[in-house]
Chains A and B, each alone.
Chain A
Amino acid sequence: MFNLRDKGAEIWENQGRIGRIVIAVGAIAIVAALPFMGGTFLNTPVADYESVLVYPIAMFVLMAIGLNIVIGKSGLLDLGYVAFFAIGAYTMGLLGTKTDLNTWEILPIGIAMAMFSGIILGVPALKLRGDYLAIITLGFGEIVRIVALNLGALGRSEGIQGIPTPPGIFGIEYAFDSHRIYYWTLLILILLAIWMVRRLSARRAGRAWESIRQDEDAAELLGVPTFKYKVWAFVLGASVGGAAGVLYASKTLFIAPDNFTLQISILILACVVFGGMGNIWGVILGAVILGYLPDRIRFLSEARLLVFGLVLVIMMNLRPDGILPRKKREKAIVKKDAS
């Protein structure tokens, strides 16, 4: 387990530019080819394999990357992440059925709505201590669901039906049951999110978040505008959740408050914790495993949430850094110098 991370880091860091491109392209190609492997041992007996790739797996991965910005990077416990997913989905649902806008036009609006609510919630909540933030976000996630359940405009418990699929682009048509097209679309979003997170982590923002996570007071006293960066982390996390929500609504074509329960927040949290808070590859791996296994192993699918709860307790107590912990840059670099 330990070696998995260091080995990966070592191989990557010892490659030249071309080697890295080859590795990246190869990895993307393998991941993109997954829909064709339904006939193999990967097949899921519980649900349709290709739809499992879209939801939960790809959706979980995207959301876990978003939540990781908040929890893993800056150490803020957000227990209401589902709220941003719901806001994205309802934006798609409302605008998709009430206006002529299509999915691609609504996507930025949904992201903006999620970011806006991130600011509304974050600005007061991020001034508070960490555990108060946890309970405020927990409440917020549930409030969004209750509002959807009780507002006539949002369809109450009926939700919103007849949400349009995305219009075709470049000759690719989105049919309701063409799961692999959605899967590839999500894959592009995931790559964009990875690019964004890696880009930011390597620079000033990443350092600021890291310092906040490790010692917020020291950060503030050494000139890091901690509040600003916490809001940014929160809002960026929200934007990814919002994007996932828009795609989700445009895929299922029907959304209801029941799709956006507190449990989703906990599921995504479990993915992040299981994979390794703060390490984007760990988080992705965690989301893939926790998204996939319940559909692969039948008895897990009934007790999915129970298992996820156990995952949280066990990981925190025995391996709090997750299966693929935060990269410790030091080791890889020292090795490179030695060689």
Chain B
Amino acid sequence: MIGNFLDQFWSLTFGGLSLGFIYILIALGYTMVYGVLRMINFANSEIFMVGTFATIIIIRDLFKFTQVSEYATGFRLWLILGTALIFAMLVSGILSMLVEMVAYRRLRRMNSGVLAPLISAIGVSMVLSESVRILTDSRPVASPRAMEKKFLGQFFDAGIRIDNTIIVISALVLFAILITFVNKTRMGKAIRAVSMNPNAARLMGINIDGVISATFLVGGLMTGAAGFFYTLKYENTSAFIGFELGIAAFTAAILGGIGNIKGAFYGGLALGLLETYASFFLGTQWKAVTVFIVLVLVLYTKPNGLFGEALTQTRA
């Protein structure tokens, strides 16, 4: 077992890394919203799920790929991937904003405590996943393969697959853009101000509703990108996919210290690797259980996360 593990170590690691980057992007959806609202965005998992379907719509319906199509190459391939990524991000981003308006905004104005918005968000995620379930007849949906999954090279004995490479590089780029946005732009600074101290931010004339909307938008964009990458890697989705990925990404956010953008990065990577290694030993059917145990242990022993600096200093 251990011998096998060492043989496969690098290929597992590459798979775990790309999964980790998918987690990072979804975790950003949780962590940013948590930063400004101090609330778990329960619907984020379904926003991810919708992102995977948005990707399939582009590849399958716009570019008419089927399971037997020839692979696209060159410029056309990048056009397809680029369109799908942007479309998935936009759909999820806008949906995320809508979710905020429907599930949270009114309750926030009513100052209704913690329970009501949580339940309302649960309701919204139920509506989203059920709508998609009814539309897809409860069946999983396969994504046609538009890109040949070549190996770019070898690292020790492990092949470096092109889709994993694309995921890691694009996710890094998106993450860098996000960090720049949060640190350099007006809106980014406003988001940080609100997450540090909403009342002070309000007194300084920041439009809180606008900032919260923007935060949901940005979180949704990142989560939508994760939907695209997930579809690229696993070529499969269903109406039920949100739950498992959602709770894993939430665990990643907690692991890194929720509310903390850099924490989401470390937490996502750590969980992606941990889950992949654990699945190797225990079998993939137990990976949700592994994730859950990690979540409970972290919440119980280090609720501020393993990687974060003091939460108050680096919140979103």
Contacts and interface: CB of A to CB of B under 8 A. Distances in A.
Asked if A and B touch directly (CB within 8 angstroms), the answer is: yes
Interface of A: 71, 75, 77, 79, 124-125, 127-128, 130-132, 134-136, 138-140, 142-143, 146-147, 149-150, 262-263, 266, 269-270, 273, 302-303, 305-306, 308-314, 316-317, 320
A310 B127 contact: yes
A135 B30 CA distance: 12
* 9 nearest CB pairs, A to B: A312-B123, A309-B126, A313-B123, A309-B127, A316-B120, A306-B130, A139-B292, A305-B130, A131-B40
A147 B125 CA distance: 24
Secondary structure of the A side of the interface?
Answer: helix
Nearest to B283: A150
A134 B247 contact: no
A25 to B, nearest CB: 36
Interface string B117-138: 1111011111100110110000
8 contacts: A79-B122, A131-B39, A135-B40, A135-B295, A138-B247, A146-B289, A150-B286, A320-B107
Interface of B: 39-40, 42, 102-103, 106-107, 110, 112, 114-120, 122-127, 130-131, 133-134, 243, 247, 250, 285-286, 288-289, 292, 295-296, 299-300, 303
Given A142-B243, A302-B134, A306-B134, A136 B119 contact: no
B299 A134 contact: no
Nearest to A270: B123
Given A75-B115, A130-B115, A135-B250, A306 B120 contact: no
Contact of B134 (A75, A143, A263, A303): A303
A143 B243 CA distance: 12
B114 A131 contact: yes
Q: Which of B42, B112, B123, B134 has the most CB of A within 10 A?
A: B123
B243 to A, nearest CB: 7
B243 A309 contact: no
Contact of B243 (A128, A262, A303): A262
Contact of A306 (B127, B243, B296): B127
Contacts of B103: 313
Given A131-B114, A146-B289, A316-B119, A308 B126 contact: yes
A312 B118 CA distance: 10
Contact of A317 (B107, B131, B247): B107
Contacts of B127: 306, 309-310, 313
Nearest to B99: A313
A119 B125 CA distance: 29
A124 B298 CA distance: 11
Given A262-B243, A312-B122, A317-B106, A136 B289 contact: no
A131 to B, nearest CB: 5
Nearest to A304: B130
A315 B118 CA distance: 13
B71 to A, nearest CB: 36
Contact of A142 (B114, B130, B288): B288
B119 A143 contact: no
A238 to B, nearest CB: 17
A317 B292 contact: no
B118 A134 contact: yes
Contacts of A143: 288-289, 292
B285 A149 contact: yes
B35 to A, nearest CB: 14
Q: Which of A128, A138, A149, A150 has the most CB of B within 10 A?
A: A138
A77 B116 CA distance: 10
A311 B285 CA distance: 33
Given A306-B134, A309-B127, A311-B123, A77 B247 contact: no
B131 A269 contact: no
Given A138-B247, A150-B286, A313 B124 contact: yes
A269 B285 contact: no
Nearest to A125: B296
B303 A139 contact: no
Given A77-B118, A312-B123, 13 more contacts: A79-B122, A124-B300, A131-B39, A132-B299, A134-B40, A135-B247, A136-B295, A142-B247, A146-B288, A263-B126, A306-B130, A313-B123, A320-B116
